[in-house]
Amino acid sequence: MTVTESVKVNNADKTIQQDEQIVIATDKKEIDVNNTTTETTGKTPATENVATKTNAELGPSTTTATATTNQNDMQIKTGEVYLIKRADGNVYPAQIIQSRPGEPATGNSTSTPAEYYVHYVGLNRRLDEWVSRDRITDTTDAETASEAANSADSTDGNGGKTIKQLSKEQIANLENPLPMENSDRKLTRNQKRRHDEINHVQKTYAEMDPTTAALEKEHEAITKVKYIDKLRIGRFEIDTWYFSPYPEEYGKVGTLYVCEYCLKYMRFQKTYRYHASECTQRQPPGNEIYRKGTISIFEIDGKEHKLYCQILCLMAKLFLDHKTLYYDVEPFYFYVLCEIDKRGAHIVGYFSKEKESPENNVACILILPPYQRKGYGKLLIAFSYELSRREGVVGSPEKPLSDLGRLSYRSYWAYTLLEFMKECRTTTQSIKELSELSGITQEDIIYTLQSMKMVKYWKGQHVICVTPKTVMEHLQLPQFKKPKLTVDPVYLRWVPPKRNPTGNAKFKKVA
């Protein structure tokens, strides 16, 4: 028999207790999320630990079985650093953050082993994961791992050895050692910055200013453990990256089920299937303002469609580390990108934009992992700048950007600026003129051109120093190739908002 499941989320009682000062604002109203049917399902089968047997039973394999048993009996301590074997077979030093007990076998399910939540030292927190006991090395290797972790924390950032190099040298006797680069070659500051951006190397607290370091420590403490391992949405099952403050009964499930049309979330597969058969929504709410081929973009007012936007933000937090907007969605517009087919509009990603912030054209941007590296990120970035140009303003995303966001934006800026400079009949255009043409702020233009060595500081100001030949040579490089997807302004049915004396924006309806 099924049981009706009704969830009411009170931010003051449940979610905001976890977020405290990191959350920008809280919504004091309750949210009716799901009225769906649920049924308890069995646990996912997992491999059981090797049972201890007598020597007579084991015969020649006694030594192997005993070693395995001894390893499993070793006590794992929270806060200690051990060597962990990742899914790719490589071994990394990682800190044990938390543990959870296994489940005993029941009538229709096998037992599940205890698991440990680990953070790989020096790597981005999106790689944190729950691991079983058999992926953790013994005490001797743990001591080596601690030395590696301490050495990593003390590197000066000027070409010192990385975690991977230390692991290679200190655990060379392991079966799957890590690849090592030439540690003798010193990196310049710019080379290190580019290396860190490409490889997603996380900054240490010592590299941050005191205020940022304090906020980062507080944020890390609140969002340290990621309980939701997988997100099931549409035809995809996605590994999550970060903690998200879902209500407690939903926030600690292994797999969260989400309707790809209305975004309602559920704990059980049975509920999900029932909801999918009953849900009549086939596209996001709001107005469709762009449609070209199978690509569609919807504009959603956070005030008019509050629940949808709040749930969208909760889902986005599973893939964004420093996202702080969850419930105060009324001051924002959301632009949701979808792929269209005969079944409906399938969400690909979105960006949000603050209504009363003309200097920032993007507050948050996300492409879901299954759709990444297909050109959708740059398409949304280009779309945000097209809106800014229609408004007659220059725009920039809110800072700081994530590592992936920084790479995407700099790539878009570089290609766009090169294209504008190629079309210019004169080589004497100023940074201000280039900003007005492209909609990109002067600060972002300077940052981008400096990375390409196309700007110099002369007589108290930055000056573009480039020839048409240099521009064409850059455009022929693979990193500056034309984006896979581009915005065609002809298909954009949108006009800039008209603001009343109180400062509220109201969009004219377009036929």
Domain at 340, CATH number: 3.40.630.30
Number of domains making up the chain: 3
Note the pLDDT of residue 386: 94
Three-class secondary structure of residue 98 per DSSP? strand
Contact 380, 405 (CB under 8 A): no
pLDDT band with cut points at 50, 70 and 90 for residue 105: low
pLDDT band with cut points at 50, 70 and 90 for residue 267: very high
Residue 175 lies in a domain: no
Note the pLDDT of residue 222: 54
- Residues 471 and 410 both lie in one domain: yes
Tens of pLDDT, residues 294-308: 999 999 999 999 999
Bridge-based pairing state of the strands 396-397 and 360-362:
parallel
- Residues 404 and 450 both lie in one domain: yes
Q: What is the residue type of 52?
A: T
- Residues 342 and 382 both lie in one domain: yes
- Residue 262 reports pLDDT greater than 70: yes
Q: Please report the DSSP string for 300-322 in residue order.
A: EETTTTHHHHHHHHHHHHTT-SS
- Residue 77 reports pLDDT greater than 50: yes
pLDDT band with cut points at 50, 70 and 90 for residue 27: very low
- Residue 28 reports pLDDT greater than 90: no
- Residues 340 and 265 both lie in one domain: no
- Residues 358 and 401 both lie in one domain: yes
- Residue 44 reports pLDDT greater than 60: no
Mean pLDDT across the stretch 193-202?
A: 46
Tell me if the bond preceding 400 is cis, omega within 30° of 0: yes
Beta bridge mates, 457: 462
- Strand positions, DSSP E, 386-503: 396-397, 455-458, 461-464, 498-499
Note the pLDDT of residue 415: 95
Q: Cα–Cα distance between 361 and 346 in angstroms, integer?
A: 24
Contact 243, 317 (CB under 8 A): yes
Instruction: Give the residue with greater pLDDT, 193 vs 284.
Output: 284
Residue 440 lies in a domain: yes
Tens of pLDDT, residues 326-354: 678 999 999 999 999 999 999 999 999 99
Q: What is the mean pLDDT of the chain?
A: 74
Q: Please report the DSSP string for 17-68 in residue order.
A: HHHGGGSS----S-EEEEEEEE---PPPP-PPPPPP--HHHHGGGHHHHHHH
pLDDT band with cut points at 50, 70 and 90 for residue 69: very low
Residue 37 lies in a domain: no
Note the pLDDT of residue 295: 98
Instruction: Looking at mean pLDDT, say which of 70-74, 122-126, 309-313 comes out highest.
Output: 309-313
pLDDT band with cut points at 50, 70 and 90 for residue 179: very low
Q: Cα–Cα distance between 49 and 134 in angstroms, integer?
A: 9
Residue 458 lies in a domain: yes
Note the pLDDT of residue 166: 37
1-15, 89-103, 202-216, 271-285, range with the lowest pLDDT: 1-15
403-423 and 189-199 helices, crossing angle to 10°: 110
- Where among 281, 299, 328 does a domain terminate? 281
pLDDT band with cut points at 50, 70 and 90 for residue 443: very high
431-438 and 442-451 helices, crossing angle to 10°: 110
pLDDT band with cut points at 50, 70 and 90 for residue 250: confident
Tens of pLDDT, residues 461-509: 888 888 889 999 999 998 888 899 999 999 999 988 775 544 444 434 3
Return the exposure string of 379-407: e unless at least 16 CB atoms fall within 10 Å of the residue's CB, then b.
bbbbbbbbbbbeeeebbbbbeebbbbbeb
- Residues 323 and 267 both lie in one domain: no
Note the pLDDT of residue 210: 58
Residue 366 lies in a domain: yes
- Greatest pairwise CA separation for the chain in angstroms: 89
pLDDT band with cut points at 50, 70 and 90 for residue 56: very low
Q: Which residue has the tokens 């120093």?
A: 465
30-34, 216-220, 368-372, range with the lowest pLDDT: 30-34
CA distances, 464 to each of 73, 235, 436 (Å): 65, 48, 15
Q: Cα–Cα distance between 424 and 407 in angstroms, integer?
A: 26
Nearest alpha-carbon partner for 340 in 291, 270, 406: 291
Q: Cα–Cα distance between 366 and 301 in angstroms, integer?
A: 18
Q: Cα–Cα distance between 448 and 91 in angstroms, integer?
A: 37
> What is the domain range of residue 273?
226-281
- At CA 484, angle to CA 195 and CA 399, rounded to 5? 45
- Residues 131 and 256 both lie in one domain: no
SS3 content of the chain, % helix, strand, coil (to 5): 35, 25, 40
Instruction: Looking at mean pLDDT, say which of 172-186, 205-219, 346-360 comes out highest.
Output: 346-360
- Residues 366 and 251 both lie in one domain: no
Note the pLDDT of residue 402: 79
Contact 320, 401 (CB under 8 A): no
Residue 248 lies in a domain: yes
Note the pLDDT of residue 490: 96
CATH number for the domain spanning 259: value is: 3.30.60.60
- Residue 36 reports pLDDT greater than 70: no
Instruction: Give the residue with greater pLDDT, 391 vs 1.
Output: 391
Note the pLDDT of residue 368: 97
Mean pLDDT across the stretch 203-217?
A: 55
Both tokens of 254, joined, read 């292994």
Residue 447 lies in a domain: yes
Instruction: Give the residue with greater pLDDT, 511 vs 476.
Output: 476
Which residues 6+ apart lie within 8 Å of 154 measured at CB?
none
pLDDT band with cut points at 50, 70 and 90 for residue 460: confident
Residue 107 lies in a domain: no
Q: Cα–Cα distance between 126 and 319 in angstroms, integer?
A: 8
- Residues 341 and 291 both lie in one domain: yes
- Residues 430 and 343 both lie in one domain: yes
Helices (H) and strands (E) in the chain, counts: 15, 21
Mean pLDDT across the stretch 260-282?
A: 96
CATH number for the domain spanning 89: value is: 2.30.30.140
- Residues 350 and 470 both lie in one domain: yes
pLDDT band with cut points at 50, 70 and 90 for residue 220: low
- Residue 148 reports pLDDT greater than 60: no
| Dihedral of alpha carbons 134, 117, 244, 249, sign | positive
Note the pLDDT of residue 123: 85
Q: Cα–Cα distance between 316 and 319 in angstroms, integer?
A: 6
- At CA 351, angle to CA 6 and CA 197, rounded to 5? 115
Return the exposure string of 3-33: e unless at least 16 CB atoms fall within 10 Å of the residue's CB, then b.
eebebebebeebbbebbeebbeeebeeebeb
Q: Active site residue: 398, 419, 436, 443, which one?
A: 398
Note the pLDDT of residue 181: 39
Taken as a whole, the chain contains a residue count of 511
Instruction: Give the residue with greater pLDDT, 167 vs 472.
Output: 472
Reply yes or no on whether 398 is catalytic: yes
Alpha helices in 154-241 (DSSP H): 163-170, 189-199, 210-222
Q: Cβ–Cβ contacts within 10 Å for residue 186, how many?
A: 10
Note the pLDDT of residue 257: 97
Note the pLDDT of residue 20: 36
161-165, 192-196, 214-218, range with the lowest pLDDT: 161-165
- Residue 51 reports pLDDT greater than 70: no
- Residues 256 and 267 both lie in one domain: yes
Note the pLDDT of residue 496: 82
